[in-house]
């Protein structure tokens, strides 16, 4: 599916674009100003940019001039906030194809995408990310719900038994468990959840949990986050576990890149492995071959090697022949690894 970059200095506006587009299968990346956006555009390809006119560091008109002068082949839709008509018109002349005005609706955003990319959105399957929170404090569960983008569905209960019932009937991507569950036997609770939700990330909610603990898996737990939820924790959970990471393509699947600090990459890789294994059920029904596009992975040869090894084994057990495409640098890094001798790894032709 298509890749879209949202450039706006407001986190809530960027989340609004995510909520409007990600459930429809679009991969949405973010940049808080034009300078960050240009760096992303120079590293990899995007199909469309939603570009705010007024931003710090580098504003919309300035960024659009650089995009066109650099020959970056991307379509642009302006995002305006009561800007004078003359300003919008002059910026459109720089190469923007359309504009949306704040406050916008989700439907207006999707209409702009359909028009710019010449797409028919009526046949797209809507997938809503879901989180499950087991905690006796209903107020905390509500705070977590409000911190996530509006398209994330958050269910929960104070009782583990009720949460396990919910897990039987829905495909949650993220489960948060109170550290006091089962008299402190949170790993046992995680085992019970994992039996029902093999594709989900499971984290412990613990008072004062340090940032490093969210990257410290043990048992079926992916780590721990503080139950004093804030925007930084919510962004980590969304970027690593809740947003879509695996996208269907005509010949296989394509993975989304990592979003966030480098130290959070292990969480991204763990969830990506789950997502790729889960996608194999679709390929069992449709074809015996699959191309797995990994070209947007971080340049981490150890993590990439582990991912290819695990996914290849899982697909082979399902009777699926997998071919992996990676960047040139990653192909060179993996070529000498004996553990990947049976894997078909090709250099991708583009970003």
256 and 214 in one domain?
Answer: no
Predicted confidence (pLDDT) per residue in 235-287, tens digit: 999 999 999 899 887 778 889 989 889 999 999 999 999 999 887 766 666 66
Predicted confidence (pLDDT) per residue in 196-206, tens digit: 999 999 999 99
- Give the predicted TM-score (pTM) of the model: 0.85
Of 194, 209, 242, the residue at which a domain comes to its end is: 242
Q: How many domains, in total, are found in the chain?
A: 3
Of 242, 266, 300, the residue at which a domain comes to its end is: 242
230 and 254 in one domain?
Answer: no
Q: Quote the domain boundaries for residue 280.
A: 246-347
pLDDT in tens, the chain (351 residues): 689 999 999 988 998 999 899 888 889 999 999 999 999 998 888 999 999 988 888 888 888 889 988 889 899 998 988 655 666 677 677 777 788 888 899 999 999 999 999 988 887 777 889 999 999 999 999 999 999 988 899 999 999 999 999 999 999 999 999 999 999 999 999 999 999 999 999 999 999 999 999 989 999 999 999 998 899 999 999 999 999 899 887 778 889 989 889 999 999 999 999 999 887 766 666 667 889 999 889 989 999 999 999 999 998 888 888 999 998 889 999 998 999 988 899 987 655
- What secondary structure does DSSP assign to 146-207, as a single string? HHS-TT-EEEEES-HHHHHHHHHHS--SEEEEETTHHHH-HHHHHHHHHHH-TT-EEEEE-T
CA distance linking residue 47 with residue 53, whole number of Å: 19
Of 79, 101, 123, the residue at which a domain comes to its end is: 123
């Amino acid at each position: 599916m298509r890749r879209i970059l949202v450039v706006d200095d407001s986190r809530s506006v960027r989340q609004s674009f995510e909520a409007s587009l990600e459930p429809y299968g679009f991969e949405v990346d973010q940049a808080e100003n034009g300078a960050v956006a240009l760096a992303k555009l120079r590293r990899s390809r995007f199909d469309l940019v939603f570009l705010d006119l007024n931003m710090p560091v580098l504003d919309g008109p300035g960024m659009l001039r650089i995009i066109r002068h650099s020959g970056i082949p991307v379509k642009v839709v302006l995002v305006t906030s009561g800007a004078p008509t003359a300003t919008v018109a002059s910026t459109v002349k720089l190469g923007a194809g359309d504009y949306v005005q704040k406050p916008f609706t989700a439907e207006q955003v999707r209409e702009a995408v359909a028009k710019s990319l010449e797409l028919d959105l009526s046949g797209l399957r809507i997938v809503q990310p879901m989180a499950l929170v087991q905690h006796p404090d209903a107020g905390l569960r509500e705070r977590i719900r409000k911190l996530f983008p509006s398209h994330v569905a958050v269910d929960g209960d104070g009782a583990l038994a009720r949460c396990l019932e919910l897990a039987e009937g829905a495909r949650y991507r993220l489960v948060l468990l109170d550290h006091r569950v089962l008299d402190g036997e949170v790993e046992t609770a995680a085992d019970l959840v994992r039996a029902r939700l093999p594709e989900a990330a499971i984290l412990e909610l613990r008072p004062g949990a340090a940032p490093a603990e969210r990257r410290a898996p043990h048992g079926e737990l992916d780590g721990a986050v503080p139950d004093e939820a804030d925007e930084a924790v919510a962004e980590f959970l969304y970027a690593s576990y809740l947003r879509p990471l695996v996208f269907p393509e005509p010949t296989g699947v394509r993975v989304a890149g990592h979003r966030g600090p480098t130290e959070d990459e292990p969480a991204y890789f763990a969830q990506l492995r789950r997502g790729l294994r889960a996608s194999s059920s679709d390929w069992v029904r449709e074809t015996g071959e699959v191309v797995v596009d990994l070209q947007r992975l971080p340049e981490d040869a150890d993590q990439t090697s582990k991912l290819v090894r695990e996914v290849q084994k899982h697909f082979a057990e399902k009777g699926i022949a997998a071919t992996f495409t990676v960047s040139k640098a990653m192909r060179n890094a993996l070529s000498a690894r004996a553990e990947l001798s049976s894997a078909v790894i090709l250099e991708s032709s583009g970003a």
